[in-house]
């Protein structure tokens, strides 16, 4: 009986340790990818992946990564000047760059603008 309890405890402790090692290694590789990411869309995706690692873990880490991704999204929305319908439709940013908007995504974009105000 004593041997059975020891085996059970060993298995519980080892699987918890292995899970934490896997979580740390995947988190480190994602943090490395985040440092190397040059586009905001890539950064947002990686930040959400990092946040998802903490779904069952500490909620402060989850909120940290989700908030960072939302900050990137909101900052980019603040740089939109207008939407122009010519040539299929595109957004004009404050640096005069133009971002094309597909016809399929146009309605979702207008809904987003209406929600923001």
Going from N- to C-terminal start, the domains of the chain cover: 1-78, 80-117
pLDDT of the residue at 117: 65
* Whole-prediction pTM: 0.52
Measured distance CA(55)–CA(75) in Å, rounded: 25
Q: pLDDT tens across 80-96, in order?
A: 888 888 877 888 888 88
Task: Find the mean pLDDT for residues 73-85.
Answer: 82
pLDDT, one tens digit per residue, over 32-56 is 888 888 887 788 888 888 888 888 7
Cα separation, 47 vs 35, in Å, equals 11
Question: How much is the pLDDT for 23?
Answer: 46
Distance CA 90, CA 109 (A): 11
Residue 41 is predicted with a pLDDT of 79
CA distance 87 to 115: 26
What is the side-by-side order of every strand in the sheet holding 80-84?
Answer: 80-84, 90-93, 98-100
């Amino acid at each position: 009986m004593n041997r059975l309890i020891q085996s059970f405890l060993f298995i519980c402790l080892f699987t918890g340790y292995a899970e934490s090692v896997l979580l740390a290694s995947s988190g480190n590789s994602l943090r490395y990818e985040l440092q190397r990411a040059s586009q905001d869309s890539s950064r947002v995706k990686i930040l959400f992946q990092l946040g998802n690692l903490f779904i069952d873990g500490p909620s402060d880490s989850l909120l940290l990564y989700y908030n960072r991704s939302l900050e990137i999204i909101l900052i980019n929305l603040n740089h939109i000047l207008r939407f122009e319908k010519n040539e299929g439709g595109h957004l004009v940013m404050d640096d005069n760059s133009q971002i094309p908007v597909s016809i399929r995504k146009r309605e979702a974009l207008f809904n987003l603008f209406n929600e923001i105000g």
